[in-house]
Structure 1
Amino acid sequence: MNVLIIAPWQNPVPPIVGSSVENCIYQIAKKLAQKHSVTILSRKTKHYPSRSQEGNMTIIRVSASGATGYVRAALNHVKGRHFDMIQIDNRPSYAPAVRAFFPHARISVFLHSLTFVSSPMTSRGKASRDLSHANLIVGNSRSLQSNLRSMFPKLAARVRYVHLGANLKQFQPPSAGQRAAVRRKYGVSERFAIVFAGRLIPRKGIPVLIKAAKIAKKSVPAVKLVIAGGTEKASYKRHLKQLAEKHGVSTRFLGYVSRSRMHEVYRMGDCMVCPSQKHEAFGLVIVESMACGVPTIGSKIGGIPEIIRNGENGLLVSDYRNPQAFAHAIVKVYKNKTLARKLSRQGRHDAVNKFGWGATASRLEAIYRKNG
């Protein structure tokens, strides 16, 4: 197949900082390019050349000051070429322009969440009209697929899903020496380290986790909460710091951690907690944590239960708005070493067998071949 992937205009591929969507594009494209020709249209940046080649994957980076100009300029770079599938990542609003430029092409919109098909980003009506230009709509979980089918019933037959993955070479269990070294580096050597990774925004549930850590301290005196992630609102980070101080929870805020160092964050943890309070389409941090062999705890919401099998490869919290419920799961991991080892081993096993980027690319390839 000859595949074209159109990335959002805000960040380059691969991303310089953060930007999980652009990281997903890059990782999936690398796997697809092992058997197919893949072209990525992305934003131009001083950090990368205008055009780069990695085997069968070509990345063309385009200068533009806004989404409309970016799409127009990007499409001009591939004018006259034929593609078996054109994939638009996470920006349904690009679909009308792509359809006008390639009237007979097979077009897929790959959605990573409900953000860009919902208010305030767009209206339900406009999202439906934009998506109607696509032959396929791909979500990153069965949960997202189900939500999309309910929101856009006329387009339900076009919606599929593929689970995302982890870089299994980067995210893998550490040796005893590596774990000791990374725990010294982050100052948690003598602590029971609870790790959170993600954006510092209300829907991620960090206040619930802070309160849970306070409760867990009664049974786990040496609790240390480590929070990795950036925020666009310094006031919210200050609020979280004040909350941790108020509840007497020893907390270290790492701020933004580069993707190249994220495996260190997971590896230092005695457990990783994902206390999402609103729909989580997938939960990339969960599969990365599991790949590192870290006992992982997550809210029973959205796509998270598609990754975590309660008591087998992690722990699910049904009453996820209740700090006591998360505290119970944390204490369970602390006290039951046999369970912790089981979750660690099975988590790694499932990450390798179900949630590698190779598996993501293979399923996406199958969908595109069947619907080509």
Structure 2
Amino acid sequence: MSPLVRPVPGPLAATFLDLPAGSPGGSVELFLDLYTGEKPLIPARAFMLASTGPRPRTPAGLDLLTVAGKCLEGPAFGRYVAALRQALRVAIDPSQIGVLHLHHLAFGATPALMRALPAHPRIALVHGTDLIFAEAHRDQLHVLRETARAADAIVVPTGAMADHLLKLAPQIDRRKITHIPWGIPDRLLTTPPARPVRTSMSHLRLLYAGRLTAEKGAEALIRSLAPVPGVELSIAAPRGQFHALAPLLQRAGVRARFLGWLRRPQLWQAFTEHDVLVVPSTTLEAMGLVALEAQACGLPVLYQPVPGLSEALAASGVATDFTHSAALARDLDQLRTSPGLLPALRQAGYANAARYPLSATAAALSDLGRQLV
């Protein structure tokens, strides 16, 4: 689908992320891209949690629920889901809703939304954190399996996510699984920010962008970068997570420029001011939207070939081993010294990112919803 084609709206969706508004992460950005704004791609009643601090700026179309007690396990989790269900029943008129979009097969929002609106068709959308937390927490595995059983359709952004889901919930009816890739904003594909020409390549300007949780691999990146010459590292991440990483940076002797947690246009501009995006994820990625956005801005991607990410990027990026300093040093040196390699990767990245317009994601989800209603 051309990025210029606007999807035909489907039935009004009800959807909910039980994360505080303003939370970082690709899942949140995708959620806001699809359902909020003055002219959302998918008409929806979209909900997140109200934060405990000052109310952040929220886009049009996003409603906040004030529910405390977010947790993952035990009797407290059951109470939390019940409180979410009650809040949703107060906020939503069931007669207006056509379909449920269950982002994340685990966590509290999904069972709460199904219990608040038990008669509506259900589209469950798999994200990487669902699978990671279901592996680590018994109650979340139960929620994931129950959601998979109850869903009318299960959407995966990559084949790797389907494979991983089936390992956790082997009784799933595979006919319910639909492959719909996630997408990046069409405006980024049609009018990316200008990229300044760089004449000197005395060193590589590396950028890490994202959360700094364990599965994102930042610690391995820092340890492996310590002995590598000719690189300069910038980190765009939540402030508290960066401060928690500071002792490791100091011990490793790696100087990193902290950019803060950037708003989307700021991040896109940062992409144009660096030479390589590093994505050292250790476990899996649903798709790796930040890498696709970087490619759309002309920034080549160096990545750990984990499930999901290797499928979305393949040969349009450079796969490496961030846990092996010598391998990382070799690949970085090749990027810095091989004539024409970075420009070739930029062109491959532009072509790869163009395969994933957000409008195509929205159109496919809307069409699926119309089939179920």
TM-score normalised according to structure 2 size: 0.80
| 2:360 is aligned with 1:342 | no
CA distance in 2, matches of 1:356, 1:298: 21
Matches within 5 A, 1:1-372: 1-12=10-21, 16=22, 18-29=24-35, 37-44=43-50, 46-47=55-56, 58-66=61-69, 67-68=80-81, 69-90=83-104, 92=106, 93-113=108-128, 114-120=131-137, 122-157=139-174, 158-170=176-188, 174-175=193-194, 177=196, 191-217=203-229, 221=230, 223-230=231-238, 232=240, 236-245=244-253, 249-310=254-315, 313-317=316-320, 319-352=321-354, 354-372=355-373
With over 3 angstroms needed to count, the CA separation of the structure-2 counterparts of 1:189 and 1:61, relative to structure 1, is: farther
Q: Which residue of 1 aligns with 2:7?
A: none
Write the letter of the residue equivalent to 2:91.
H
> Displacement of 1:35 after TM fit?
6.9
**CA drift at 1:235:** 6.7
Alpha-carbon displacement from aligned partner over 1:296-344 (angstroms, at most 9, x marks no partner):
111111111122222xx21122x45322222222222111231211110
Residues 323 and 207 of structure 1: CA distance in aligned 2, closer, same or farther (over 3 Å): farther
- Tell me the CA shift for residue 290 of structure 1: 0.6
CA contact (8 A) 1:300 1:316 kept: yes
Q: 1:72 to 1:61 in 2, by over 3 A?
A: same
- The residue type equivalent to 1:296 in the other structure is V
Change over 3 Å in CA distance of 1:345–1:302 after alignment to 2? same
Say which SS state the counterpart of residue 348 (structure 1) adopts.
Answer: helix
Q: What's the CA shift string for 1:103-162, capped at 9, x where partnerless?
A: 321012222111343323735334312432322222332211111122112224233332
1:351–1:30 distance in 2 versus 1, CA, 3 Å: farther
Q: Deviations over 1:154-174 (max 9, x none)?
A: 224233332222235357654
Query: For the residues of structure 2 that align with 1:243 and 1:65, how far apart are their CA atoms?
Result: 38
Please tell me whether the aligned partners of residues 149 and 156 of structure 1 are also in contact (alpha carbons under 8 angstroms): no
Change (3 A) 1:299 1:334: same
Amino acid at match of 1:99: M
**Larger relative contact order (CA 8 Å, sep ≥ 6):** 2
Gaps of 5+ in 1: none
In the alignment, the residues of structure 2 paired with residue 43 and residue 18 of structure 1 have an alpha-carbon distance, to the nearest angstrom, of 13
Q: Is the 8 A contact 2:221 2:323 kept in 1?
A: no
Q: Distance in 2 between matches of 1:231 and 1:128?
A: 35
Structure 2 residue identity aligned to 1:37? P
Deviation at 1:47, TM superposition (A): 4.0
Superposed CA deviations along residues 232-278 of structure 1, whole A, max 9, x for unmatched, are 55674123322441xxx442233423333111222111111111122
Q: Could you say what secondary structure the match of 1:163 adopts?
A: coil
Seen in structure 2, the aligned counterparts of structure 1 residues 176 and 159 have a Cα distance that, compared at 3 Å, is closer
SS at match of 1:74: helix
Root mean square deviation, CA, Å: 3.1
Give the percent of matched residue pairs that are identical in Structure 1 and Structure 2: 19
Amino acid at match of 1:88: L
Distance 1:138 1:207, change over 3 A: same
Quick one: structure 1 residues 227 and 193, their matched pair in 2 at CA, closer, same or farther if it must change by over 3 Å? same
- Structure 2: segments with no counterpart, 5+ residues: 1-9, 70-79
* Matched residue SS, 1:308: helix
Shift of 1:291: 0.8
- Contact 1:107 1:136 (C-alpha < 8 Å) held by counterparts: yes
CA–CA distance in 2 between the matches of 1:138 and 1:124? Answer: 18
Cα distance change of structure 1 residues 39 and 324 upon mapping to structure 2, 3 Å threshold: same
Q: Supply the distance in 2 between the matched residues of 1:85 and 1:33 (Cα, whole angstroms).
A: 19
Q: Contact 2:25–2:210 at 8 Å: present in 1 too?
A: no
Whether the 8 Å contact between 2:249 and 2:255 is mirrored in structure 1 is no
